[in-house]
């Protein structure tokens, strides 16, 4: 592959409104935008999904930048690869740091598809031309404020409503949503590892609300207790934080730790690993969906492309740009094509262009690395 130069840009982008989960409150993204250039004027884009603090996983925006600069970019620029699928193997000797790996691997995938003149979705083997999407809602200060948010997103047509829960904010908000909007709203809860098996009673109580799933109720590194829990619950368990690789997915499926998997491209180290997890789950009748990490349009475009694969049968968290951003860094903006539906772009690569003037507004640091 023709790869000549890599550029890193650190962007800080304020949210429209702050977002609270059991792991903490966030009011801005702090991300690394990766651009990989060839000698023909093509540019491929990727984005890190790390946060400034290590409360979702162990990575931070600082560690992502460090790993890219010190290990991953030198490894890529000193290698000769023929396809982006080889990047996964190239980075395999470097342990973990999946978000750093995914940011660079995603940019190589975009560049490759632009060089071939195909869309990223087609490059990944995607078949869908549109995808159904849902929305994730944080822990709100009051149940009334939560209900108002849910109503707004139902009105926009989002096909799945995911609400964050934590001990003390679980049964009552879910009961209130069911009471106000009825039994048919596609509803799920995400605990971000806030419970232990000592709270089995609360988790069992959630069974009465007919949730599509409960996401990552137990520890971020657990698949054993989740298997025990799944035996006690009617509601399907979905794993997020516990799955970092296709091997993790295989073990979780074998143990019965979950009936659904959330694939986040950053968490699992890239698009190639995401595709492997998708294929494994498909072979085991485990549906998957694409999680979100408050991505800019660049990360959203990657999420849309991977979601075009056929076993992404549950609406993911890839909401429109206006869910979080007053001003996104891509054009056109990622916008709903029909209520709750995004179109899969057909242009080359990710199918969205960067807006350099918007990038400049949020830019705090920039470095370039040559072969």
Residue 322 and residue 330: Cα distance in Å, rounded? 12
Query: Where does the chain have alpha helices with state H?
Result: 61-67, 73-77, 85-91, 98-116, 120-124, 143-155, 171-181, 200-205, 224-232, 246-255, 271-283, 297-307, 356-362
Residue 292 DSSP SS3 = coil
Least Cβ distance, residue 77 to Mg ion (angstroms):
34
In sequence order, the 6+-apart residues with CB closer than 8 A to the CB of 31 are 10, 11, 13, 47, 48, 49, 50, 61, 296
Residue 138's φ and ψ, nearest 5 degrees, are -75, 180
Binders of ligand OSB among residues 168 to 197 (CB under 6 A) are 190, 192
Least Cβ distance, residue 116 to ligand OSB (angstroms):
29
Which of 21, 194, 239, 350 touches ligand OSB by CB under 6 A?
21
Nearer CB in complex with ligand OSB: 124/165? 165
Nearer CB in complex with Mg ion: 110/215? 215
The reply to whether 190 sits near Mg ion by the rule CB under 5 A is yes
**Is-catalytic flag, 360?**
no
Residue 361 DSSP SS3 = helix
Which of 317, 325, 328, 330 touches ligand OSB by CB under 6 A?
317
Residue 21 touches which of ligand OSB, Mg ion, none (Cβ within 5-8 Å per kind): ligand OSB
Which of 22, 88, 319, 321 touches ligand OSB by CB under 6 A?
319
Kindly tell me the burial class for residue 333, based on how many C-beta atoms sit within 10 Å of its own C-beta (0-12, 13-18, 19 or more).
Answer: middle
For residues 314 and 162, the answer to whether their CB atoms sit within 8 Å is: no
Question: CA nearest 206: which of 192, 190, 185?
Answer: 190
Residue 264 and residue 303: Cα distance in Å, rounded? 8
**Is-catalytic flag, 16?**
no
Q: Is 215 annotated as ligand-binding?
A: yes
Residue 354 touches which of ligand OSB, Mg ion, none (Cβ within 5-8 Å per kind): none
Residue 317 touches which of Mg ion, ligand OSB, none (Cβ within 5-8 Å per kind): ligand OSB
The active-site residue, picked from 101, 114, 162, 264, is: 264
Residue 132 touches which of Mg ion, ligand OSB, none (Cβ within 5-8 Å per kind): none
The active-site residue, picked from 114, 160, 162, 164, is: 164
Which of 132, 140, 170, 240 touches ligand OSB by CB under 6 A?
240
Which of 266, 292, 315, 340 touches ligand OSB by CB under 6 A?
292
Binders of ligand OSB among residues 52 to 111 (CB under 6 A) are 56
List the structure tokens of 229: 């829990």
Binders of ligand OSB among residues 293 to 312 (CB under 6 A) are 293-294
Tokens 């709903």 -> residue:
336
For residues 268 and 102, the answer to whether their CB atoms sit within 8 Å is: yes
Q: Is 105 annotated as ligand-binding?
A: no
Residue 353 and residue 182: Cα distance in Å, rounded? 41
**Based on C-alpha coordinates, what's the Rg of the chain?**
20
- Residues lying near Mg ion in the complex (CB under 5 A) are found at 190, 215, 240
Give the residue numbers of the binding site for Mg(2+).
Answer: 190, 215, 240
Give the residue numbers of the binding site.
Answer: 190, 215, 240
Catalytic residues: 164, 264
- Residues lying near ligand OSB in the complex (CB under 6 A) are found at 21, 56, 136, 190, 192, 240, 291-294, 317, 319
């Amino acid at each position: 592959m023709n790869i000549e130069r890599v550029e890193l840009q650190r962007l800080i982008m304020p949210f429209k409104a702050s977002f609270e989960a059991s792991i903490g409150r966030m009011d801005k993204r702090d991300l690394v935008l990766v651009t990989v250039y060839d000698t023909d004027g093509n540019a491929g884009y990727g984005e890190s999904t790390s946060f400034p603090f290590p409360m979702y996983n162990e990575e931070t925006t600082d560690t992502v930048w460090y790993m890219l600069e010190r290990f991953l970019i030198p490894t890529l620029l000193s290698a000769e690869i023929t396809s982006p699928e080889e990047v996964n193997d190239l980075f395999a000797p470097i342990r973990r740091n999946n978000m750093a790996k995914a940011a660079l691997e995603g940019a190589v995938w975009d560049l490759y598809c632009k060089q071939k003149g195909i869309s990223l979705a087609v490059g990944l083997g995607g078949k869908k031309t549109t995808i159904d999407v849902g929305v994730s809602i944080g822990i709100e200060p009051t149940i009334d404020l939560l209900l108002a948010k849910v109503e707004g997103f139902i009105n926009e047509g989002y096909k799945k409503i995911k609400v964050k829960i934590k001990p003390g904010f679980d049964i009552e908000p879910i009961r209130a949503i069911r009471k106000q909007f009825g039994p048919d709203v596609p509803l799920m809860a995400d605990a971000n590892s806030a419970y232990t098996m000592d709270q089995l009673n609360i988790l069992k109580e959630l069974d009465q609300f007919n949730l599509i799933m409960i996401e990552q109720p137990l520890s971020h590194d657990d698949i054993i207790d989740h298997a025990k829990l799944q035996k006690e619950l009617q509601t399907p368990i979905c794993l997020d934080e516990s799955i970092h690789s296709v091997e993790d997915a295989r073990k979780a499926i074998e143990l019965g730790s979950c009936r659904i998997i959330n694939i986040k491209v950053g968490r699992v180290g890239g698009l190639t690993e995401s595709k492997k997890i998708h294929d494994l789950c498909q072979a085991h009748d485990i549906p998957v969906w694409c999680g979100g990490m408050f991505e800019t349009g660049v990360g959203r475009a990657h999420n849309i492309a991977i979601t075009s694969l056929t076993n992404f049968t549950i609406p993911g968290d890839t909401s429109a740009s206006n869910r979080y951003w007053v001003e996104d860094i891509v054009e056109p903006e990622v916008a709903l094509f029909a209520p709750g539906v995004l179109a899969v772009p057909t242009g080359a690569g990710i199918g969205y262009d960067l807006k350099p003037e918007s990038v400049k507004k949020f830019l705090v640091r920039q470095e370039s690395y040559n072969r």
